Amino acid sequence: MNKTILLLSLLSWLTGLLGCANQSRQSSTSNSASPTEVTPTVDLEKRNALVEQYDLLHFYDKTAPVFLTLDEFFNGNHDEASIAPNLDTKLRVAEYYSLLKEVREDKKIVEVLVELKDVILYENNQLNDNEWFYTDVIYFIGDITPEEIAARVKDLQPDEVAYTEDERIMGLDERYEGNKIVYIWWD
């Protein structure tokens, strides 16, 4: 009988403890940010325009890769998992965008392209309203070296920065002909 009383006392104590913790979490989250300070994960209008423009609901049926400009990939994207999701600590998506735009302003760079690697489609063949597309590689096209790019993007913590001779990119625009392609990649 003493075991039963002890067990009931322990359960009562745990229930009270969990109730206090839950009440504390609710009050701390409700006081930490007002609804106007919360940034939505995805600008649905911009994302849906890209879905339509690039027919991304059929992403897995495509045989050619999908390349977006830097602005297309980042403008409206606040999904932290959309780039370099395996990093333990990383910059916010807006900081990736800002730094990459600075690099793009270099007069030696013709273009910066983002290759889509994944579009998560759910059973209903739709996207989640809180998700963007995913990439693990960005290409810099111009008269540049991997060393120059690596120095400029070191805060983004890429796993690899190197030249590539990617015919898929060279054939996209005549402005790219005669230029080098340097990619940054995250595992």
Mean pLDDT by 10 residues, the chain (187 residues): 46 42 33 49 95 96 96 96 91 96 97 97 91 96 98 97 93 93 96
- Map residue 181 onto helix, strand or coil: strand
pLDDT at residue number 113: 98
**C-alpha–C-alpha distance, residues 182 and 149, integer Å:** 8
**C-alpha–C-alpha distance, residues 28 and 25, integer Å:** 5
pLDDT at residue number 37: 52
pLDDT at residue number 24: 32
CA distances from 173 to 112, 126, 145, 177, 179 (A): 12, 31, 20, 8, 11
pLDDT at residue number 4: 46
Residue with tokens 């111009």, as numbered in its chain: 142
DSSP code of 75? T
Which run of H or of E encompasses 119?
none
Do 181 and 163 touch, CB atoms closer than 8 A? yes
0.85 surpassed by pTM: no
pLDDT at residue number 155: 96
CA distances from 13 to 17, 24, 40, 84 (A): 6, 16, 39, 43
Among left, alpha and beta (phi > 0; psi -120 to 50; other), residue 178 is left
Q: Where are the domains of the chain?
A: 2-36, 44-185
Do 111 and 173 touch, CB atoms closer than 8 A? yes
- CA-closest candidate to residue 54, choices 44, 41, 68, 43: 68
Which run of H or of E encompasses 161?
strand 160-164
pLDDT at residue number 27: 33
- Map residue 111 onto helix, strand or coil: strand
Do 109 and 141 touch, CB atoms closer than 8 A? yes
